[in-house]
Amino acid sequence: MHSQRNFPGHAFDSKTSDDPESLSIGKTSSPLNENNADAGCFNDDEWIIEDSASLKMRPPKLCEFLHLLLNNPRYASYTSWVNNNEDLFKIHNPAKVASLWRKIKLRRTHRPMDYETFSRGIRYYYKSGSMIKTHRRHTYRFA
């Protein structure tokens, strides 16, 4: 199983994804249905991060969200690891990942969050060195 990274200035739980409850804070949520639709059982508490600098609870940053998503077996049809050792992952359902990101970030905008907007956020991490280009469709790599 892939080990989660620590992000500078952020507390990030390093528990393994073998236990889906270990990824959540507070109340638990029900499993997704066979279509993996998250509308009926979305639990925003499982996406909360404690900032180690301020000790405040906050929504995750994009890289933190991707790690939480990859290590939560309930969202296996959304995204999965291609190669754990190389931190390489693939997004299988881009529209649902973008929609979930919109819910988690509590975005208040008149325009919907689509995959194009979501992937632009990922590409911003290329300049900072947090992500590495893979030149493959819907496939990304953490640095």
| Residues pairing with 91 in the sheet | 79
Residue 113: pLDDT band (50, 70, 90) is confident
Residue found under tokens 């299988």 = 92
DSSP alpha helices (H): ranges in the chain? 62-70, 94-105, 115-128
Q: Domains in the chain, start-ordered, CATH in brackets?
A: 20-34+42-142 (1.10.10.10)
Nearest to 29 by CA among 19, 41, 16: 41
Give residue 14's pLDDT: 37
Q: Is 5 exposed, middle or buried (0-12, 13-18, 19+ CB in 10 A)?
A: middle
pLDDT of residue 102 exceeding 60, the answer is yes
Interval 52-95: pLDDT, tens: 888 999 889 999 999 999 999 999 999 999 999 999 999 999 99
